Amino acid sequence: MKRALVIWLEVLKTSLKLMIGYRTQALVQSLFVIMYVIMLYIIMRVIFLHTDFLGGWSRSEAMLLFGIVNLLSLFAATLFYDSYQHFVNKGIREGHLDLVLTKPISSRFWVSISRPQVASILSLAFVAMYVFHLLITEVYSISVESILLSLVATFFSCIIMYNTITICACFAFYSTNSRQSIDILYKLLDYGQYPVTMFPTSIRLISFTIVPIAFFGYVTTALLLKKESYLLLVVTIIVAIISWYLSQAFWQKGLKRYESVSR
């Protein structure tokens, strides 16, 4: 564990140096992300011009959900989105995975942390400030217990997010036309910024199982605002454990199918 942390920190340092070297590009990239988040924010505000509640959530509650979902998705993008995209686009198709498999380290771990998107830190900070602004300016029913529950839920939700992206990336082992698998997941997160309770039961079930976008912010926010019971946290922990074993199984089976650059 300590060795993995040291490696991860060294990778972050290297990526930070690259970002400083190409700071204009990093700034432009961050501005595009911030503009996209602002566009989504405007859509949410427009929706609440025509209604006071959305799936039982007030405007201030829904806007907090919006902020937390985007905060977690940007967090994931910063840590391992680019890494898995590079794996899908070049790791399999061009045989870059060959070199990874020779390293004395878990191939899955290295693939997932090899290219952190450090430039996203700027947009991550922007959304974090927005969430903090809501928490100090809006009136929410929050207690110490709900804060602790939401923090624990966030930890396990991040595990679910990591495992889900891993599973999407594993499609590259089975198909050469899998470049969009991770992008599709991130596009689905646009629906995760709305309260799950506004969707039909079938969609809710899918968002907690097959495409678990409900764990990418909704669970954290719902527990923080006491809109769901602690049983949802239990479900989150169970799903995190199941998703971990599933992602490991997908990865190991994919490695067995891997045939290097000759594939």
pLDDT tens across the length of the chain (263 residues): 677 778 777 887 777 777 777 777 778 888 888 898 999 999 999 999 989 999 999 999 999 999 999 999 999 888 888 888 888 887 777 777 888 888 888 889 988 988 888 778 888 999 999 999 999 998 888 999 999 999 999 999 999 999 999 999 898 888 766 667 788 888 888 888 999 999 999 999 999 998 999 999 999 999 999 999 889 999 999 999 999 999 999 999 988 888 765 44
Model pLDDT, residue 262? 46
Q: What is the DSSP letter of 199?
A: S
For the chain, percent helix, then strand, then coil, each to nearest 5? Answer: 75, 0, 20
Report the distance separating Cα 127 and Cα 8, nearest Å.
24
Report the distance separating Cα 97 and Cα 120, nearest Å.
25
Report the distance separating Cα 169 and Cα 84, nearest Å.
6
Name beta bridge partners: 54. Answer: 57
Name beta bridge partners: 211. Answer: none
Q: Which helix (H) or strand (E) holds 118?
A: none
**Long-range CB pairs of 84-88, under 8 A, 24+ apart, other chains included:** 84/111, 84/112, 84/165, 84/166, 84/168, 84/169, 84/182, 85/182, 86/114, 86/115, 87/111, 87/169, 87/172, 88/169, 88/171, 88/172, 88/178, 88/179, 88/181, 88/182
